[in-house]
Amino acid sequence: MSTDKITYQLKIPSQTDNLELIRLFVSAVAAKVGFGPDDISKIELAVDEACANVIKHAYSKNLKQLIELAIEIDYKKISIIITDHGKGFDIKKLPHGDVKEYLAEMRVGGLGIYLMRALMDEVEFDSQPGVQTQVKMSKYLVKADQVELVQE
Amino acid sequence: MESFEVTKKDHDDIVVLYIKGYLDAHTAPVLENQLQSLIEEQRYKIVVNFKDLAYISSAGLGVFMGFIENIREHQGDIKLTNMNPKIYRVFDLLGFPTIYDILEDEQQAIVKFAR
């Protein structure tokens, strides 16, 4: 199998009716890499959540702005990098801790962030307000513990 | 084009909403409007049947969060039924089974309301 990294890109207007196209794009690439239906549904939901946040918060529903998606694939993982040039946010203020405590306060806004972290193997945020914000999410084709099992 | 639909059926004072298709940030306002109409009609016993729902994101879950407090203050509830495993996983990941009554089928929800 090739070890080269391949990148697929999509630039798409920041509109909620494009979430479907984004999901189809991400799912198709994930299937091509070899992920099964269960992982594909996790990846498409995580990406939907990130893009919905961009549409609603970063671009405040300004339909003329663009969401940039880059999907990098190599032999072991898929990484989706979502970039926007919206207003950004303070990473330290992202919701964290136990989701049940968060829900008990009847808060809604940060649920997507919890889902992204739960669905993907790695999620990283980088925000430079006024410049750009990036979310990078990765999922491994074979998880580290499975690799150990294979090696044994 | 993927779509989302809500249809409504009455069982005495209980309303069953059948949700079908894809519930995301684009389609969530459709469900939100439907629930808002029920509140305005003072219908507080609501069952949502997920049998034909293919997809849900947190925007869809957020709709239920937006109404549940008001509905329970009026001695009502939103009971959720007939979820496929993929949909249930999203609710479970966010801890919703501790807050919402999630049941196997619609009939169970109707019986619980009738008690």
Pair of tokens at residue A36: 């099964």
- Judged by CB atoms closer than 8 Å, whether chains meet at A20 and B26 is answered as yes
Q: Which residue has the higher pLDDT, A107 or A70?
A: A70
Report the predicted TM-score, pTM, of the whole model to 2 decimal places: 0.91
User: What residues of A are in contact with residue B67 (Cβ under 8 Å)?
Assistant: none
In sequence order, what are the residues at sequence separation of 6 or more whose Cβ sits closer than 8 angstroms to the Cβ of residue A148? none
pLDDT at A1 over 90: no
Q: Which of A63-67, A109-113, B92-96, B109-113 has the lowest mean pLDDT?
A: A109-113
Does residue B97 belong to the interface with chain A, where contact is any CB pair within 8 Å?
no
Which one of A14, A18, A20, A43 would you mutate to disrupt binding with B, by most B Cβ within 10 Å of its Cβ?
A: A20
For residue A113, give the amino acid letter: I
Pair of tokens at residue B72: 């329970």
Share of chain B above pLDDT 90, in %: 95
Q: Which residue has the higher pLDDT, A5 or A12?
A: A12
Q: Which residue has the higher pLDDT, A94 or A56?
A: A56
The residue count of chain B comes to 115
Q: Which residue has the higher pLDDT, B95 or A21?
A: A21
The per-residue pLDDT of chain A, averaged, comes to 87
Pair of tokens at residue B80: 């959720």
- Judged by CB atoms closer than 8 Å, whether chains meet at A115 and B58 is answered as yes
Question: How confident is the model over A34-86, as pLDDT tens digits?
Answer: 999 999 999 999 999 999 999 998 898 788 899 999 999 988 999 999 999 99
Sign for the pseudo-dihedral over CA of B38, B44, B49, B53: positive
Question: How confident is the model over B67-80, as pLDDT tens digits?
Answer: 999 999 999 999 99
ipTM of the complex: 0.93
- Judged by CB atoms closer than 8 Å, whether chains meet at B99 and A103 is answered as yes
User: What residues of B are in contact with residue A48 (Cβ under 8 Å)?
Assistant: 24-25, 57
Report the C-alpha gap between A7 and A62 in whole angstroms. Answer: 27
User: What residues of B are in contact with residue A99 (Cβ under 8 Å)?
Assistant: 93-95
pLDDT at B21 over 80: yes
pLDDT at B14 over 90: yes
